[in-house]
Amino acid sequence: MLTETKPITQQAPAPKSPLLEKVLPHVELIAAGICGLLILTGWLLDHYHSEALSTISYILAFIIGGFAKAKEGIEETIENKALNVEMLMVFAAIGSAIIGYWTEGAVLIFIFAVSGALETYTMNKSHKEISALMNLQPEKAWKVMADGSVELIPVASLSINDRILIKPGERVPADGRILSGETAIDEAAITGESLPVTKNIADEVFAGTVNMSGSVTVEITKNADETLFQKIIALVQSAQSEKSPAQAFIEKFEGTYVKVVLAIVVIMMFLPHFVLGWSWNETFYRAMILLVVASPCALVASIMPATLSAISNGARNGILFKGGVHLENLAAVQAIAFDKTGTLTKGNPSVTDIYVKEGYKKETVLLYAASIENHSNHPLAKAIVESAAATIQKPLLAIANVQNSSGWGVTANIDGVEWKIGKADFVGASEAKSFHASIYDQLSLEGKTVVFIATNDEIIACIGLKDIVRKETQAAIQLLKDYQIHTLMLTGDSEKTAHAIAKESIVHEYIAECLPEQKVDHIKALKNRYGIVAMVGDGINDAPALATAQVGIAMGGGTDVALETADIVLMKNDLPKIAEAIKLSKRMNRIVKQNVVFSISVIMLLIISNLLQAVDLPFGVIGHEGSTILVILNSLRLLRS
């Protein structure tokens, strides 16, 4: 019943009048309405004994109401070389007319046209988010010329490394990096997050987002057709055209079922006359009713509208599904494995503790340490520099003679004093581990990395750093536990650090000192224990594990890599979205089951009623097509959040 979804292209549409643009999306519903009026006219003319005019009115109702579905059915039959439910409806309507049941045949066409219009509405509704996204990307941009002037040019003519000016209130025309200025960007079109994000120099901005406050100059980093925005559109389009296993089965089943129904209808045209003594008219009439009520319209429409609605709902909320199969599988997940860094944690270490020897000022020690560490690109060094910037209102010192001992620490000479910053073994293991009442052991048990500071071989301070667990992690894991889903953390960190993070994250279990290639083995072991398993990672070094799990979920954060590696992408690094995705998947599967059970029950009830001669053609038409409409309306509930 439902046709395959067609990709939306971004070609410029031919100019249309405003009236035509309003009418076109509803043309099938308008045709159904005209069909209904013609049926009413035909019935009134027949009532007043204008039989010829009544027949003409019914014929017009057949043509206007049935044209779209008849055309669709004929084209698909020729293309696939197999009959479909549309053709069954056409045969039933024509058969009804042949035996003089013009009203019943026309009513069948009318309700079939209404259900077809509703299907089209479902398709249009499911594509609405994509169409809305496509309309968000501006067609022109302010290009900054070599002499500093700005010129309004088409976005399509922008190239990588071009500079553009984005004014307050304007949409970002292309992916790029801020060269100057500061602003807040509304990234709802990308991440689903309604709160604006502050952007400074060197921060990335994405096409389709909105510049809320300040003017910024941006350097283009991607061509217009390669932006993250375009990739999201392509991904959702692809997802909507990909069939879930249940949908693929139903469509395969439909072809066989239609042939069986036609064969039984042919037998019904003759057998009851000879076996049960029915008149030829009654036999043919009952065969036509069987043709109507046995058609699997509602069954065929049980899955696709629900899948499309769920995918659209997810896309609107920053959850991108790469196909119905992943959406369907997610509801059956029994265990989820999490990468630690960047998934359960923020991915960047932060200073949590600073202990200074008596007689030294914390601010002074931190200022010197940050000034030295500013010469290093190590994540721990960056964390110390950021901590100093946030707590000390003084500029860093200019230090020229900093030496880096890779993997150990840094050394610098300041006013004749040798400073060492690094591991315990680098500054003096025994002294370090006994510093400040053995604070080293305490911080280590808390899963923190300890950096020591020494001057002339005297340890004067230590700094505790930790990759902070995301504030939403515990809530997200608890939501999964409420679904009876087992949670596992995979990390390359030491046993102590892994234990501390796992305890704080409230996951069921953890595996420490796990190399990237070992994650695949652990995922396989988890599959053997629990069956359907999901893996959550950052979409880069977790790609093998994401591919091994039945469902790979990437913490997107707006990255291209995440879009390419996982089955499901959380466009904002928001762990509770996983539980939302599971809830959406369970809702979809529940609605699909409701639709399938309901549609099969109605078909069986109508078939039995027909064999018992307890249902006439009008009621058979209403029961059959009405069930199709109810199934589609039930699926549309998934569009609501």
Residues recognised as catalytic: 339
Distance CA 625, CA 118 (A): 12
Question: Residue length, the chain?
Answer: 641
Strand duo 449-455 + 458-469: pairing? antiparallel
Return the sign of the alpha-carbon dihedral for residues 57, 60, 65, 70: positive
Q: Which alpha helices (DSSP H) does 392-461 contain, by range?
A: 424-427, 429-433, 435-445
Residues 6+ positions from 588 with CB-CB distance below 8 Å: 306, 307, 309, 310, 327, 328, 331, 638
Among 30, 487, 4, which residue's Cα sits nearest to residue 248? 4
Among 459, 492, 569, which residue's Cα sits nearest to residue 232? 569
Tokens at 267, concatenated:
């037998």
Q: Which alpha helices (DSSP H) does 294-434 contain, by range?
A: 297-300, 304-316, 324-330, 362-373, 379-391, 424-427, 429-433
φ/ψ of 141, rounded to 5, equals -145, 155
Distance CA 5, CA 28 (A): 17
Contacts of residues 578-583 at CB distance under 8 Å and 24 or more positions apart, as own/partner, are 578/336, 578/476, 578/479, 578/480, 578/536, 578/553, 579/476, 579/479, 579/480, 579/483, 580/317, 580/319, 581/314, 581/319, 581/321, 581/330, 581/553, 582/330, 582/331, 582/333, 582/480, 582/483, 582/485
Say which DSSP state 632 is in.
H
Tokens at 517, concatenated:
């290639």
φ/ψ of 615, rounded to 5, equals -135, 135
Q: DSSP string covering 67-96, please? A: HHHHHHHHHHHHHHTS--HHHHHHHHHHHH
Distance CA 250, CA 302 (A): 9
Tokens at 98, concatenated:
């042949």
Among 507, 510, 584, 46, which residue's Cα sits nearest to residue 329? 584
CA triplet 244, 246, 251: central angle to 5 degrees? 95
- HEC string of 549-583 equals CCEEEEECCCCHHHHHHCCEEECCCCCHHHHHHHH
φ/ψ of 179, rounded to 5, equals -95, -35
Distance CA 322, CA 241 (A): 10
Distance CA 488, CA 524 (A): 13
Say which DSSP state 171 is in.
B
